[in-house]
Amino acid sequence: MRHRGSLERAGRPGERPAAAAATAPIDRALIEAWALFYLGRYASSAENLRRVLERRVRRRVASDDEAVRTARDLIEELVARYRTTGLLDDAAYAAGRAKSGVARGRSLRRIAAGLAAKGVGAADAAAAVAALGDGGNAELAAACAFARRRHLGPYRRAAADRRRELAAFALAGFDRGTAEAVLACADEAAVAALLSGAE
């Protein structure tokens, strides 16, 4: 059974198109509608938006190579225009992703790898990681957030194997010294003192 609003929503650019709309040609307006819908929901780098739009095109016209080439030119033009107007700003995107990554307990290595996977250039990614403050403080803050999220070290609920906790930090991309500093804390007050001492 369909919901009453499903027919009304079928025409939105981000949702599955109706059968008649699926055969409509891919033009500048359609690609722009897809891009604006995506950017309305998610922050994106220029390269990531390019990949998203190219996937949408390939899904729509999988066997028509000429249509894919034409759409690729339209996508390049759109991405260049969005960069010029400031709608796409890789440096701001990288800074936001890096800041939220530290808050979520991701190591600086993992943050840099995630930015590269999203198509952020090496210079923008390095600048975003460097803007977090000096590397040790940001790495330590991320390690503390990781320990809190995973209930490790001072946040553990029961006795745990120290080797497993060190392995969890290593798998998350933290170096041994940072992991041991966090695991050496007895409680949350010690973590706060560790963080304030690192500033």
Q: Are residues 78 and 99 in the same domain?
A: no
**Containing domain of residue 183, as a range?**
90-198
The pLDDT assigned to 9 comes to 46
Count of structural domains, the chain: 2
Residue 173: inside a domain, yes or no?
yes
Final residue before a domain boundary, out of 22, 51, 85 = 85
Nearest to 107 by CA among 142, 131, 134, 133: 142
Q: Are residues 99 and 157 in the same domain?
A: yes
Query: In the structure, what pLDDT confidence band is assigned to residue 1 with cuts at 50, 70 and 90?
Result: very low
Write the pLDDT tens digit of every residue in 121-167.
Answer: 999 999 998 888 755 588 888 999 999 999 998 888 888 788 999 99
Residue 110: inside a domain, yes or no?
yes
Final residue before a domain boundary, out of 26, 53, 85 = 85
CB atoms within 10 A of CB 26: 20
The pLDDT assigned to 8 comes to 45
H helices present in 86-107, as ranges: 90-103
Nearest to 199 by CA among 142, 128, 134, 143: 134
Q: Are residues 81 and 141 in the same domain?
A: no
The pLDDT of residue 15 is above 90: no
